[in-house]
């Protein structure tokens, strides 16, 4: 035995050959084992049944994309009427809540003093006119200096100014409405003494009624003046109007832009200060109405729905167009799709599945009416 070992040590090639043969036998045994395991796993996977999913064929409709905003109604104009002259309130012609027309009397002030001063100013004006004519005649004859003529002219102009001032004072003793509106508040009663600048009443104009709201900087570029808008008040009443104003500067702190929608209100039946939901239509796109329960997230966190194409699951990212009481309208899936309604939580993108289709005419789980005009046209 010792002889044999010593002989092998003297011939190292035999040692290397033995090691190589041992390694080959070991690798071959591992590959054989892997092939056996692979074949067994394939056999097992072939034996596992496919996941069964329920699929519904959904047809898209043309849907108008909308921007939803929350705003409030406001008057078109609001004015605080004030006294321009001093005087005692002689008569009150309107009450709070009364609707008035442009030029209608609101209150009347005592004007006896102004009338007397106006008569005196008119008499003085006539005197100044006579004096100026006399000065001009004397000047023509050389008996009047240029200075005296200039003084007579100045006196006449002063008399004219006084007359106009007192005429305005008399006219301003009648406080009238500057535009059609409603007396929202009245501050005076008969017998009150008013000074210049004292408040008399607040007049509001409700035709048109204005809905103000703020739109984000993302959506403001999609809006334009004279664009149609729909409003729904808290009472449920619907309003139809047009955008009349879009601010060019955003609000500090919120980066939102103020917009105004004017709504015809000829009978003043709509009131200001009421919360209103605005819907501003944008472009029209193809969308499908589905239940929110059908939506899912992929591994990257994208929102979408799982469809079936050639018996394989396909995840389709979607865009929410709008929502209503019957479901959510989604775009991005074309004009028709096979959407998984039951079992989408157990499959992933690319999985092969067993498909069970339902009759959309009998099943309303998607909330989409197959009797819509666009659906019939596509069928």
* Amino acid 150: pLDDT: 77
Q: Please report, for the chain, how many H helices and E strands are present, in that order.
A: 5, 22
- Find, among 336, 372, 337, 362, the residue nearest to 55 by Cα: 337
**By mean pLDDT, which of 20-24, 61-65, 158-162 is the weakest?**
20-24
Torsion angle, alpha carbons of 204, 210, 214, 218, to 10 = -150
Q: Give kind and range of the element (H or E) at residue 222.
A: none
State pLDDT tens for residues 299-345: 888 888 888 888 888 998 888 888 777 888 888 888 888 888 888 88
- Residue 354 burial by Cβ neighbours in a 10 Å radius (0-12, 13-18, 19+): exposed
Give the C-alpha distances (Å, rounded to integers) separating 269 from 34, 155, 275: 84, 56, 16
β-pair type (181-186, 99-100): antiparallel
Domains of the chain, earliest start first: 51-64+285-378 (2.40.420.20), 68-76+207-283 (2.40.30.170), 78-110+178-205 (2.40.50.100), 113-172 (1.10.287)
End-to-end C-alpha distance for the chain, whole angstroms: 93
Q: How far apart are CA 10 and CA 7, in angstroms?
A: 5
Model pTM score: 0.61
Between CA 67 and CA 230 the distance in angstroms is 11
- Mean pLDDT comparison of 6-15, 146-155, 205-214, 324-333, highest-scoring range: 205-214
Identify the CA nearest to 107 among candidates 186, 204, 175: 175
Average pLDDT value over all residues in the chain: 80
206-232 pLDDT tens trace: 999 999 999 999 889 889 999 999 999
> Please, what sign has the CA dihedral across residues 19, 24, 29, 31?
positive
pLDDT of residue 297: 84
Let me know: does 273 contact 73? Beta carbons within 8 Å.
Answer: yes
Which tens digits make up the pLDDT trace of 260-304? 999 999 999 899 999 999 999 888 888 888 888 888 888 888 888
Which single residue is written with the structure tokens 């067993």? 354
Which pLDDT score is estimated for 143?
A: 63
Model confidence at 153: pLDDT above 80: no
Whole-number Å distance between alpha carbons of 379 and 368? 15
Give the Cα separation of 336 and 343 in Å (integer).
20
């Amino acid at each position: 035995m010792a002889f044999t070992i010593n002989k092998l040590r003297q011939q190292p090639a035999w040692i290397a050959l033995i090691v190589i043969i041992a390694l080959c036998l070991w690798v071959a045994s591992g590959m054989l084992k892997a092939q056996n395991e692979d074949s067994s796993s394939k056999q097992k996977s072939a034996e596992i049944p496919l996941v069964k999913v329920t699929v519904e064929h959904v047809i898209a409709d043309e849907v108008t994309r909308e921007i939803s905003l929350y705003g409030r109604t406001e008057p078109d104009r609001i004015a605080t009427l004030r006294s321009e002259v001093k005087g005692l309130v002689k008569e009150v012609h309107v009450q709070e809540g009364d609707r008035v027309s442009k030029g209608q009397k609101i209150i009347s002030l005592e004007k006896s003093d102004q009338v007397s001063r106006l008569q005196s100013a008119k008499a003085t004006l006539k005197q100044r006119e006579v004096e100026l004519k006399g000065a001009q005649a004397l000047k023509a004859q050389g008996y009047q200096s240029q200075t005296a003529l200039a003084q007579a002219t100045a006196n006449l102009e002063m008399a004219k100014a006084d007359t106009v001032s007192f005429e305005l004072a008399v006219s301003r003793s009648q406080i009238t409405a500057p535009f059609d509106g409603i007396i929202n508040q009245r501050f005076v009663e008969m017998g009150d003494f008013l000074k210049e600048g004292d408040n008399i009443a607040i007049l509001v104009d409700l035709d048109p009624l204005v809905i103000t709201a703020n739109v984000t900087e993302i959506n403001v570029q999609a809006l334009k003046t004279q664009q149609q808008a729909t409003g729904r008040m808290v009472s449920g009443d619907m309003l139809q109007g047009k955008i009349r104003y879009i601010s060019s500067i955003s609000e500090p702190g919120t980066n939102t832009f103020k917009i105004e929608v004017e709504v015809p209100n000829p009978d003043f039946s709509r009131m200001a200060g009421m919360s209103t939901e605005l819907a501003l239509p944008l472009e029209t796109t193809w969308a499908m109405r589905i239940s929110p329960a059908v939506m899912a997230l992929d591994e990257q966190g994208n929102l979408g729905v799982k469809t079936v194409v050639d018996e394989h699951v396909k995840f389709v990212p979607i865009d929410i167009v709008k929502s209503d009481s019957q479901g959510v309208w989604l775009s991005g899936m074309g004009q028709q799709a096979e959407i998984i309604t039951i079992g989408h939580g157990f499959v992933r993108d690319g999985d092969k599945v067993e498909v069970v289709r339902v009759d959309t005419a009998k099943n309303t789980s998607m909330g989409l009416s197959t009797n819509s005009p666009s659906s019939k046209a596509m069928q």
